[in-house]
Amino acid sequence: MVAEPEVGIVFWLLSLVILVSAFMVVSLKNIFHCALFLVLCLFSVAGIFILLHAEFLAAAQVLIYVGAIAILIIFAIMLTSNLASTTIRATNENVLVGFFVALILALGTIVLIGNTHVWRYAEPAEAVDSNVMMIGKYLMTEYMLPFEIVSVLLLAALIGAIVLARREKS
């Protein structure tokens, strides 16, 4: 177990990496570099989950977002032949509007944090044997029906995507 001051330092380092990489995602002009910084940001979020002892969420974050979605984005970027075309614009005219909206949201957040007088720190919860074991137990007992319904819906969506893709080829 990591001592408390080290957890705080790691948390702030991961938070800094998240903020810097998220800023790089929205500010760089090279879309491939943006995708790489997105992967770094998502990995850092998984690190925050690990600090919170949510190993299942960290694994899901890495497998689903980094391993699937971000890699899919990178493949889509690499397979796009018109990516380097001069007709594609990499800038936006709404930068000034976006800056002011972000500034207003940041100031609102700072005001809300400043007006919060009571910060409650929860007592550490009892350590459970395993988060994954507990999630598995709930999925196979209490939440079995919703789990099966979601799996059937995902299977139907996958079959629909295959049918649409085959129809477009013909």
Neighbours of 44 (CB within 10 A): 21
Among all chains, which residue has been given the structure tokens 């614009």? 89
Maximum Cα–Cα distance for the chain, whole Å? 64
Residue 8's pLDDT is 85
Q: How confident is the model at residue 169 (pLDDT cuts 50, 70, 90)?
A: low
Into which CATH architecture does domain 1-82 fall? Up-down Bundle (1.20)
Q: What is the mean pLDDT of residues 100-125?
A: 82
Neighbours of 83 (CB within 10 A): 13
| Tens of pLDDT, residues 116-125 | 876 666 566 6
Q: Mean pLDDT of all residues in the chain?
A: 81
Token pair listed for 90: 């990499």
Residue 19's pLDDT is 95
Q: How confident is the model at residue 31 (pLDDT cuts 50, 70, 90)?
A: confident
Residue 86's pLDDT is 56
Residue 10's pLDDT is 93
Give me the amino acid identity at 57. Answer: L
| Tens of pLDDT, residues 60-87 | 889 888 888 887 787 777 776 565 555 6
14-37 as b/e: b if 16+ CB within 10 A: beebbeebbebbeeeeebeebbbb
d(CA 25, CA 89): 16
- Cβ atoms of residues 60 and 135 within 8 Å: no
Q: What is the mean pLDDT of residues 91-101?
A: 82
Residue ranges of domains in the chain: 1-82, 132-170
d(CA 32, CA 70): 11
Query: 72 to each of 23, 67, 76, 79, 166, how far by Cα in Å?
Result: 21, 8, 6, 10, 20
The answer, as to whether pTM is greater than 0.75, is no
